[in-house]
């Protein structure tokens, strides 16, 4: 399975989920991720589903954002805008971006409120319909990095995180919020991820150090979308 085929399968599942919500005239709340694999997916949805998805019911949020302005090539919002958002007819009010250009602590607080005010709630935490995640080679997901596992159990909705190597500040949703959603999907491609994917999926002892191991669906389902290379050791 190539990354493109994988993205195609995911895109049709996305459209089906969005269709279910639209049928019931319900919002479909989705937290997007950054990363190279999600970028392939967004392009594909932007190219093939412009007309068949009722975009007025779709609300996009971001699971994490780099603290840079939206024009930066590192902006996760910018990536989604360039690959998908400019191709679809979605009301601007349905785009809930993290303001990477603002003060990180203040923005983490503001964005927590924006999520709470625009999603359903379960057990006192926001409930996204779908959270799309990538997986870093160090086992991070969203912007929850190794050594920062407290963000998996934090009671906050959002937090400021720091990339361990570049020291770039990030804003991320926390593990409990991810685990509270209806559908969690990891989208992972490439040989470099094969070892870590195997360790996490097989629940090997060392994998506990990878934040992605702490992502467990509490109320819905968690699906791994892997290309042939990422699945090579399974």
Nearest to 137 by CA among 148, 129, 146: 146
Options 18, 142, 157, 173; binder of ligand 6PG; rule CB under 6 A = 142
Which structure tokens are listed for 50?
């412009």
Q: Applying CB under 6 A, which part among 30-38, 175-183, 201-209, 224-232 lies near ligand 6PG?
A: 30-38
Q: Which is nearer to ligand 6PG, 21 or 141 (CB)?
A: 141
**What secondary structure does DSSP assign to 92-154, as a single string?**
GGGB----TTS-HHHHHHHHHHHHHHHSEEETTEEE-SEEEE---TTS-BTTB-TT-THHHH-
CB 30 within 8 A of CB 59: yes
Q: Which is nearer to ligand 6PG, 73 or 123 (CB)?
A: 73
From the list 29, 33, 83, 112, which residue makes contact with ligand 6PG (rule: CB under 6 A)?
A: 33
What's the CA gap between 191 and 80, in Å, rounded?
Answer: 24
Distance of closest approach, residue 33 Cβ to ligand 6PG, in angstroms: 4
Q: Out of 34, 78, 104, 139, name the contact with ligand 6PG by CB under 6 A.
A: 34
* Nearest Cα to Cα of residue 39 among 89, 2, 4: 4
Nearer to ligand 6PG, 76 or 179 (CB): 76
Minimum distance from residue 36 beta carbon to ligand 6PG (Å): 4
Rounded Cα–Cα distance for residues 189 and 91 (Å):
31
Residues linked to residue 33 through DSSP beta bridges, in sequence order: none
The SS3 assignment for 176 reads: helix
In the complex, least distance from residue 54 CB atom to ligand 6PG, rounded to whole angstroms: 26
Of 21 and 44, nearer to ligand 6PG (C-beta) is 44
For residues 34 and 104, which CB has a smaller minimum distance to ligand 6PG in the complex?
A: 34
Cβ count near 147 (within 10 Å): 12
For the CB of residue 24, give the shortest distance to ligand 6PG in the complex, in Å. 29
For ligand 6PG, the binding residues in 38-67 under the rule CB under 6 A are 64
Q: Where are the alpha helices (DSSP H) in 130-189?
A: 150-153, 175-179
Nearer to ligand 6PG, 125 or 197 (CB): 197
Sites of contact with ligand 6PG (CB under 6 A): 33-37, 64, 76, 134-136, 140-142
């Amino acid at each position: 399975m190539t990354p493109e085929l994988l993205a195609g399968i995911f895109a049709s599942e996305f459209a089906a989920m969005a269709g279910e919500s639209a049928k019931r005239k319900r919002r479909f709340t989705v937290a997007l991720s950054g990363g190279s694999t999600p970028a392939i997916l967004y392009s594909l949805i932007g190219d093939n589903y412009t007309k068949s998805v009722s975009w007025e019911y779709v609300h996009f949020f971001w699971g994490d954002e780099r603290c840079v302005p939206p024009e930066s090539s590192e902006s996760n919002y910018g990536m989604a805008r360039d690959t998908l958002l400019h191709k679809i007819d979605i009301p601007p009010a349905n785009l809930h971006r993290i303001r990477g250009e603002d003060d990180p602590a203040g923005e983490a607080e503001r964005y927590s409120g924006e999520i709470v005010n625009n999603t359903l709630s379960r057990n006192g935490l926001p409930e996204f319909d779908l959270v799309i995640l990538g997986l870093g080679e160090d086992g991070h997901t969203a912007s929850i990095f190794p050594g920062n596992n407290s963000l998996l159990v934090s009671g906050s909705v959002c937090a400021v995180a720091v990339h361990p190597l570049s020291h770039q500040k990030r804003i991320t949703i926390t593990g409990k919020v991810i685990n509270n959603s209806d559908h969690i999907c990891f989208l992972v491609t490439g040989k470099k991820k094969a070892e870590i994917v195997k360790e996490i999926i097989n629940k090997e002892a060392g994998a506990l150090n990878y934040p992605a191991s702490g992502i467990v669906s509490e109320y819905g389902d968690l699906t791994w979308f892997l290309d042939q290379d990422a699945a090579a050791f399974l």
